């Protein structure tokens, strides 16, 4: 899809938010969407975002899917997951879900639009003892994907984990867990 390549190469998504605790700037889902709208219009494309509640292990996650479609109907899409906190001080249940949705959508947009957030800290990390162990934008997705893989109950659900995380196919830790779980449910993985 040539329009996506053009949009990716021309997109400038500024970091329009500021975390006063961590003293850093970051971009939100809304910042990305606002920055990409003129390029979408110029290329005759539409951007769609949707969420799905998925149960992994013993927790619920928001699975965000971001799809771009050109005038000819060609599509490209990317997904990302974010776990809802069981409880967050000062937030009701709908706000917690909304926060997880925004976070998942941001990372799905990052993947689809080739936005490198490796130096971004997350807006929600405000505790004094927070430390980011990996500056990798895929670190959260990797952790969730590994948890999904370890929670797989069948070969089919394990293959779903593989197919839902194409960005991790070259990740050594993710592949090691997939191979480990593959021994539990033998048959070659669908490595498209």
User: For residue range 162-181, what is the model confidence (pLDDT) as tens digits?
Assistant: 887 777 777 777 878 888 88
pLDDT score of 48: 98
Average pLDDT rounded to a whole number, residues 65-82: 95
pLDDT score of 89: 64
Average pLDDT score, the chain: 80
Q: Distance between alpha carbon 22 and the CA centroid of its chain, in Å? A: 22
Instruction: Determine what percent of the chain is predicted with pLDDT higher than 70.
Output: 81
Contact (Cβ atoms closer than 8 angstroms) between residue 179 and residue 153: no
pLDDT digit string, tens, across residues 55-72: 887 888 899 999 999 999
| Maximum mean pLDDT: which of 34-38, 88-92, 134-138 | 34-38
Contact (Cβ atoms closer than 8 angstroms) between residue 55 and residue 84: no
The reported pTM is: 0.60
Q: Is the pLDDT of residue 124 over 50?
A: no
| Per-domain boundaries in the chain | 1-117, 134-187
Q: Is the pLDDT of residue 117 over 90?
A: no
| DSSP reduced 3-state for 99 | helix
pLDDT score of 119: 45
What is the CATH class of 1-117?
alpha beta
| DSSP reduced 3-state for 92 | coil
Q: Is the pLDDT of residue 190 over 70?
A: no
For the chain, give the number of residues: 192
CA-CA distances (angstroms) from residue 181 to 54, 146, 152, 158, 177? Answer: 20, 10, 8, 8, 6
């Amino acid at each position: 899809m040539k329009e996506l390549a053009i949009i990716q190469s021309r997109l400038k998504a500024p970091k329009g938010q500021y975390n006063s605790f961590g003293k850093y700037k970051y971009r939100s889902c809304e910042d990305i969407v606002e920055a990409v709208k003129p390029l979408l219009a110029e290329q005759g494309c539409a951007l769609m975002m949707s969420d799905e509640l998925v149960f992994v292990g013993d927790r619920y996650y928001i699975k965000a899917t971001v799809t771009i479609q050109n005038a000819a109907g060609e599509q490209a899409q990317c997904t990302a997951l974010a776990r809802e906190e069981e409880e967050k001080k000062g937030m009701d249940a709908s706000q917690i879900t909304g926060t997880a949705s925004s976070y998942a959508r941001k990372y799905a947009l990052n993947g689809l639009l080739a936005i490198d957030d490796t130096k971004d800290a997350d807006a929600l990390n405000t505790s004094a003892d927070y430390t980011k162990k990996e500056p990798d934008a895929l670190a959260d997705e990797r952790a969730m994907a590994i948890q999904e893989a370890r929670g797989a109950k069948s070969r089919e659900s394990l293959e779903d984990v593989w197919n839902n995380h194409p960005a991790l196919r070259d990740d050594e830790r993710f592949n090691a867990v997939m191979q480990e779980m593959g021994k539990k449910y033998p048959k070659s993985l669908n490595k498209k």
